[in-house]
Amino acid sequence: MTAYQQLWAPWRNAYISQVRSRGEGRRCIFCTAKRSRADRRHHVVARGRWVFALLNRFPYNNGHVMVAPYRHVGTLRDIRTAEWDELLKMLRDVTRRLDRTLRPHGFNLGVNLGRIAGAGIPGHLHVHLVPRWQGDTNFMPVLAGAKVVSQSLDDLYTLLTRPRRRER
């Protein structure tokens, strides 16, 4: 019999508990974060006039960011032009920041519209930005049903919100 090494991921318990208790009365994480000024606690890494960006608390990969409008809208047809324009600019800016700090080899960009399409929070439109590295997909998700994320959200938050030195 093969001996297995134990993989501890206690932070996943919050996600499992949340999934079990999902219901109509659940708060929208985006609306909670937009109203709060405790950006570190909510892992909000950027704020604009119409949209903001925050780290995904249950990331697919290290650096997984979500960009959402402040308004609670769930479809593309309901988003205003100013919100859409700023959302795209913020995606560009966060991509640049992730490029500088994490140096990924590429990115996945996606929107899940509606619960049937995989939206965990279907009522509040958000765009996922996921850094990718050569070889970041391995046997762990397939055989162990686990994804290894190599950096804590707090460490990544600090890295992404650190003031930049002026380039000459």
Catalytic site includes residue 126: yes
Contact between residue 114 and residue 27 where contact means Cβ atoms under 8 Å apart: no
- Region at 143 (left for phi over 0; alpha for psi -120 to 50; beta for the rest): alpha
Helix boundaries (H) for 43-121? 81-102
Q: From the candidates 43, 64, 126, 128, which is the catalytic residue?
A: 126
CA-wise closest residue to 9 among 152, 132, 129, 135: 152
CA-wise closest residue to 67 among 158, 128, 109: 128
Q: Which residues are catalytic?
A: 126
